[in-house]
Structures are given as C-alpha cells and as structure tokens.
Structure 1
Amino acid sequence: MAMSDTSYSTFARIMHWSMALFILSTIPVGFLMIQEGLSRSLQNSLFIYHKNVGVLILVLAVIRLAYRGFRPPPPLPDHVPVWQQRAAGASHTALYVLIIAMPVAGYVRVVAGGFPIETLDAMGFPRLVPESKPLAETAKTLHFYGSYVIAGLAGVHIMAALQHGLLKKDGVFSRMWPPVRRGAD
C-alpha cells in the first residue's frame, strides 16, 4: 500500500487532534467545576468553558463524521491481529457515540434546567427542549456517568496508540500523528 492509502488525510488529522485537545480539556474541567469550595467566579468560568467547548465538540464531531462518510479511514495494516482490528473498530464506534451523546446530554441538562449556553444563546439558537427538572436530572445523570466512560475509553485509546508508537513501532501510530518532514542532509 502507498503511504496515502495507509495514513489519514491532513484534514482528518487536524480534526482528530483538535477534538482530542478539546475533549481532554473538558473532562478535567467537568470534574473540577462540580467540586465544593470553589469561588463562584471560578466555578462560573469553568461552567461557561465546559458548555461552550461542548458545543464546539458537537459541531466538530458532526463535521468529522460527515467527512468520514465521504472518506472512510484507511484500513489497519495486515500485521495487526484481527481481534485488535475488531477491538479498535468497537472502541472507535463507542468513542464516536459518546462524542455525540455527551454534548447532547449536556445540552439537555443545561437547557432543561433553565441555564444558558452562552454561545448558542448569543447566536439566537432556539432551545430545543422544554424546561423540565426531571429531564434535566436524567440528562445530568447520563452526562455524569458518561464522563467516566468516555474518560476510560480515551485512556484505552491513548494507551493503545502509545503501545503502537513506542513499543511496537509498527506504523499504526504514525498514521494519525502529524507527518514529519525530514530536510535534506
């Protein structure tokens, strides 16, 4: 296979690393913002960051999935065992589901709870769910437990990538890593 057949496109790589940055920043912010003892100002800033980056993650996820529909990812190399290929496929599917579900649950929790989502409110985006305390509580619970699941899956994803990049050095990691251009000696 040619390199272009085995590597992700520049756009896919930019989307991957941008989303990774946003997701990996919102997880600790989400856990921090609900801690007791924070100043109201800090807590409000963390909530605003978390909500608005969540909106950005959802938009990027929709774009990324649409792109993926038009340009499927390259197949894993033949040397990767079938069980690892299946595990990678299942974990990627689960990550995509959660990357969509978490912002949606967060949106429902906030809007049904009667709270603002500053970016969407500034754009005049309509509130798609009614205010409802039971709905807000259900969405809050789903978002809370989902945060542990997505954090765990992200951890597994990172560990698998590092295994391929640092231990096996089998080219799987470099498919998504930004290409390194070597100058002429």
Structure 2
Amino acid sequence: MTRHSDSYQTPARLFHWIIAAAVLLMIPAGLIMTQQGIARPLQDTLFLFHKNIGVILIPLILLRLIYRLRHPAPPLPSSLPGWQRGAAAVSHWLLYLLLIVMPISGFVRVRAGGFPIELLDRLGAGPWLAKSEALADAAKGLHYAAALLLIAVLAVHIGAALHHGLIRRDGVWSRIWPPVRPRD
C-alpha cells in the first residue's frame, strides 16, 4: 500500500481526473465528427462540444502544468525498475506536451479556418487570428498527428496504470486515485 507522503496531493489528483475525463470524451468526439456520412445534427453537436471543451481545457492544462512544476510528483516505489521510472517520466512529459499541443493546434485550425468558437465568441474574445487556409491546414495536420500520438501514449499510460493497479498492486495506481486524499 502507498504511504500518504508517496501520493499526489488533492489538487494534482483533481486536475488529473478532470482533464482525463474531458480528454477521454474528446477523443471519440473528434474521431466521430470527422467521419464521412455522419448525420449533420450529430456532427454539428460533436464539433460544438469538441471546440468548446478544447477551449476550456487550455487554461486547465496550463494550471495543471504550473501546479506540477511547483509541486513535483511524489517518488515512485523503490521496487520499480529504472527503465520503468524512465518510461514513466518520458510518458508523463510527453502527455503534458501533447495536452498543450492538441487544444492550441485545434484553436489555430478553427480560427485560421474562419470558423467560430462559440464560447469565446459569446465572451467577445474575437478571433485572435486572421483567416489563413495555409495556417489552418498546417494546424489541422499537426492536430491530427498529435491526436494519433496522444491516443498511443494514453493507451500505454492507461495500460501501465491498470498493470500496476490490478496485477502488481504495488501502490502506483493508488498514488493518483481516488481524486481526494485519504485522511490520516
């Protein structure tokens, strides 16, 4: 079992699970909304959801990253092999990078493409970018490539978490779950 000092603090846990839930909803929405032959009302709803949750995720991800930089992760169990420690570090920082690239490239793709982001438009934020098909196309390509990489890294991350939680039962899973710290 994990000791209290080896667990993530409550804010880190909440950031993790709120962002994880949003991202895990955004992935199928993004994959479905871009398919040919999907009913237009469903496609419109998914685009609205995807764009506007993406905008909400930008400040949440930045706050999470700031929190993470100010509050380092608790140490991994000493029983974990060095290669797993290295893989965990690389995958976590890659996830942070992708979590920044995804909403920003999505924002650039939408705004440079001349499309609305309803939440920002209602707040009077303005487009912030001039319309540019070249920029929109580049951002679209980056968003797509980053999405594929994000899906792969998430699959490894979730697989490793399940391995530690269900098979090894070594306390790695309980460091981040549940979202609130147990009382002493």
TM-score (norm. length: structure 2): 0.93
How far 1:73 sits from its partner (Å)?
Answer: 1.1
Distance (whole Å) between structure 2 residues aligned to residue 65 and residue 180 of structure 1 = 20
Q: How does 1:64-103 map to 2 (within 5 A)?
A: 64-103=64-103
Cα RMSD after superposing both structures: 1.6
Calculate percent identity across the aligned residue pairs: 48
How far 1:129 sits from its partner (Å)?
Answer: 2.0
Distance (whole Å) between structure 2 residues aligned to residue 152 and residue 54 of structure 1 = 19
Whether 1:42 aligns to 2:42 is yes
Could you list the runs of 5+ residues in structure 2 that have no partner in the other structure?
none
Range moving further from structure 2, 46-55 or 171-180: 171-180
How far 1:36 sits from its partner (Å)?
Answer: 1.3
How far 1:128 sits from its partner (Å)?
Answer: 2.5
Whether 1:143 aligns to 2:143 is yes
Distance (whole Å) between structure 2 residues aligned to residue 93 and residue 71 of structure 1 = 14
Match of 2:13? Answer: 13
Tell me which of the two structures has the higher relative contact order, counting C-alpha pairs closer than 8 angstroms and 6 or more residues apart: 2
Distance (whole Å) between structure 2 residues aligned to residue 124 and residue 72 of structure 1 = 37
| Residue type of the alignment partner of 1:91 | S
Distance (whole Å) between structure 2 residues aligned to residue 88 and residue 181 of structure 1 = 24
The residue matched to 2:38 in structure 1 has which SS? Answer: coil
Distance (whole Å) between structure 1 residues aligned to residue 62 and residue 70 of structure 2 = 13
Query: Deviations along 1:134-154, whole A, 9 cap, x unmatched?
Result: 100010111112111101111
Aligned CA distance change for structure 1 residues 127 and 154 (closer, same or farther; 3 Å): same
Q: How does 1:105-124 map to 2 (within 5 A)?
A: 105-124=105-124
| Residue type of the alignment partner of 1:47 | F
Distance (whole Å) between structure 2 residues aligned to residue 100 and residue 8 of structure 1 = 21
How many residue pairs are counted as aligned between the two chains?
181
Range moving further from structure 2, 103-112 or 68-77: 68-77
Distance (whole Å) between structure 2 residues aligned to residue 89 and residue 61 of structure 1 = 18
